[in-house]
Amino acid sequence: MRLKLISCEVLYREMCHACAHSPHQVDLEFLPKGLHDLGGKPMAAKIQEVVDRTPEGMYQAILLGYGLCGNGLDGLEARHTPLVLPRAHDCIALLMGSRERYLAYFDGNPGTYYRSTGWLERGKGLQQLTHNTMGFDESLEAMIGKYGEDNGRYLYEEMNRYQAQYRKLTFIETGLEAAGKFIDEAAAEAGEKGWSFERVPGDLAWLVRLVEGEWTDAEFVVAAPGQCIAASYDATVVKVRT
Amino acid sequence: MLDLEKLNEAVIEGNWKAAAAATHAAIAAGVPALTIVSEHLVRAMDEVGRRFECEEYFVPEMLLSARAMKASMEIVRPLLAAAGAQPVGRVVIGTVKGDLHDIGKNLVASMLEGGGFEVIDLGADVAPQRFIEAAAERHANLVALSALLTVTMPSMKTTIDAFQAAGLRGTVKIMVGGAPVTQQYADSIGADGYSDSAGNAVALARKLVAA
């Protein structure tokens, strides 16, 4: 098959690895990290634009390297080519290899901040995609410069207080981490923020099944031309809507 | 000559020191506490909400206005109690179990307080039982649930179901919000209302407690 993969850049290394080993020819396109900050409808519109640019008749299917991602894939319509989306809430589920494993870990480890290769190296110096996130990654100096000493300091504390509510940084290892640099960086971040640090083995088998065309209904939703992907609000995460 | 609009301006501009000073001046001039709240704080926060809606204000500006409003409320609150003033409603608010995101929820809590509600903020990662206990203890008529992840949204349903199981569903109105939440989801879990932003939340809350 010839397939097109539209994926979040957070999964860059993992997707490239899987596609390089796929028996199918997969054309890759990566979109910027952080589209979920735009909100569900704007994110879906951005991905729809890329889907709509795909030439008709060139691919047997368009694969989506995403989960539901805060409803950012809700409403996406298949035009002339079927769309295939994993039944995942987000990329953390994909990196862990299953919905069940993600939910079990999530419920058993409250207050966890997740990192992976892409979550560390992608989006550094991220162009501000939306003013919804304005102020969240600014330094104390920048906030003081913008809002004055008193208000600037107050905003910096308010907008970074969430860090005290998290307890652990979990790095999901997929075996693609070069020479320990990602582990070291993740451990350093945990130390800086006063969080404990855990390494959890990831499982890329779900991503591999995406790019190898093994789309069982249990793991993937397939939207035929004219159908839309929609949030199902149940354990299947997403469904098809005609 | 006392210019009470200065209080409105101070809140809208996010200047807490000016808001506190204007509040003291108003009290010294004999302006009733309830007037300070309903004519000035409520109106100012409605304007702040409007600016957020049309994307003139973003999270930082909202936080600064909320800070200014709270500085004024700190001064006025004991006088309101002494005058026997009743809040527009009593709302228990929190981010649901499993979810630690709270900035949006904090903004809504501030907007509700500025809108004349008594707000009981339970924080984040709040289990259904805590919502029930707080609503009962504080005689709340409104519960506001926030979630930022599709993976924690099911806790909204468990919370509403818990009120049902406890035989208390009819004692409160329940509203929901948060980035991935939709009207459709709110309807499917039996919520009484959904608002898509902090600005709209106050209007919805007022409608729900009046019903």
- On whether both B77 and B100 belong to a single domain, the answer is no
Nearest CA-CA distance, residue A180 and chain B, Å:
30
Nearest CA-CA distance, residue A52 and chain B, Å:
24
Contacts of B55 in chain A (CB under 8 A): 131
Q: Structurally, how many domains does chain B consist of?
A: 2
pLDDT band at A195 (very low <50, low <70, confident <90, very high): very high
Contacts of A195 in chain B (CB under 8 A): none
Domain around A60: 2-94+204-241
Query: Has residue A89 been placed in a domain?
Result: yes
Q: Which residues contact A217 (CB under 8 A, 6 or more apart)?
A: none
Interface residue A139 vs chain B (CB under 8 A): no
- On whether both B65 and B115 belong to a single domain, the answer is no
pLDDT band at A128 (very low <50, low <70, confident <90, very high): low
> Can you give the pLDDT at residue A179?
79
- On whether both B194 and B122 belong to a single domain, the answer is yes
Residue B30's domain is classified under what CATH number?
Answer: 1.10.1240.10
pLDDT tens, residue by residue, A83-92: 999 999 999 9
pLDDT tens, residue by residue, A44-56: 999 999 999 999 9
Of B101, B151, B184, nearest to A89 by CB-CB distance is B151
3-state secondary structure of A201: strand
- On whether both B69 and B109 belong to a single domain, the answer is no
Nearest CA-CA distance, residue A156 and chain B, Å:
9
- On whether both B97 and B180 belong to a single domain, the answer is yes
- On whether both B14 and B113 belong to a single domain, the answer is no
Beginning with the edge strand found earlier in the chain, give each strand of the sheet holding A196-201 in spatial order: A112-115, A168-173, A196-201
Contacts of B63 in chain A (CB under 8 A): 154-155, 158-159
Mean pLDDT of chain A: 93
Query: Has residue A66 been placed in a domain?
Result: yes
pLDDT tens, residue by residue, B74-88: 999 899 888 888 899
**Phi/psi-derived region of residue B58, left when phi > 0, alpha when psi is between -120 and 50, beta in every other case:** beta
> Can you give the pLDDT at residue A137?
74
Listed by number, the residues of chain A in 187-216 with a beta carbon closer than 8 Å to a beta carbon of chain B are none
Query: Has residue A24 been placed in a domain?
Result: yes
Listed by number, the residues of chain B in 66-85 with a beta carbon closer than 8 Å to a beta carbon of chain A are 67
pLDDT at A189 over 70: yes
> Can you give the pLDDT at residue B75?
95
**Last residue in a domain, options B44, B63, B82:** B82
Domain around B112: 90-210
Query: Has residue A38 been placed in a domain?
Result: yes
> Can you give the pLDDT at residue A132?
64
Nearest CA-CA distance, residue B82 and chain A, Å:
31
pLDDT band at A242 (very low <50, low <70, confident <90, very high): confident
> Can you give the pLDDT at residue A165?
85
pLDDT band at A135 (very low <50, low <70, confident <90, very high): confident
Contact A43, B180 (CB under 8 A): no
Burial classification of residue A70, based on how many CB atoms lie within 10 Å of its CB (0-12 exposed, 13-18 middle, 19 or more buried): buried
pLDDT band at B211 (very low <50, low <70, confident <90, very high): confident
**Last residue in a domain, options B82, B111, B127:** B82
Contacts of A155 in chain B (CB under 8 A): 60, 63-64
Of B98, B153, B185, nearest to A110 by CB-CB distance is B98
> Can you give the pLDDT at residue B162?
98
- With an 8 Å Cβ cutoff, are A233 and B124 in contact? no
pLDDT tens, residue by residue, B3-32: 889 999 999 999 999 999 999 999 999 999
Query: Has residue A146 been placed in a domain?
Result: no
pLDDT at A140 over 60: yes
Residue B97's domain is classified under what CATH number?
Answer: 3.40.50.280
**Last residue in a domain, options B47, B82, B117:** B82
Of B60, B98, B101, nearest to A135 by CB-CB distance is B60
- With an 8 Å Cβ cutoff, are B67 and A154 in contact? yes
Mean pLDDT of A98-114: 95
> Can you give the pLDDT at residue A39?
82
Which of A96, A138, A165 is most worth mutating to test chain B (most B CB atoms within 10 A of its CB)? Answer: A165
pLDDT at B161 over 70: yes
Interface residue B125 vs chain A (CB under 8 A): yes
Interface residue A134 vs chain B (CB under 8 A): yes
Nearest CA in chain A to B186: A233
| Number of A–B residue contacts, CB under 8 Å | 80
> Can you give the pLDDT at residue A175?
93
pLDDT at A127 over 60: no
Mean pLDDT of B118-133: 97
Nearest CA-CA distance, residue B18 and chain A, Å:
13
- On whether both B68 and B128 belong to a single domain, the answer is no
Mean pLDDT of chain B: 93
- On whether both B128 and B204 belong to a single domain, the answer is yes
Query: Has residue A112 been placed in a domain?
Result: no
Interface residue A132 vs chain B (CB under 8 A): yes
Query: Has residue A154 been placed in a domain?
Result: no
Nearest CA-CA distance, residue A57 and chain B, Å:
34
- On whether both B75 and B103 belong to a single domain, the answer is no
Query: Has residue A104 been placed in a domain?
Result: no
pLDDT band at A117 (very low <50, low <70, confident <90, very high): very high
- On whether both B55 and B37 belong to a single domain, the answer is yes
Q: Structurally, how many domains does chain A consist of?
A: 1
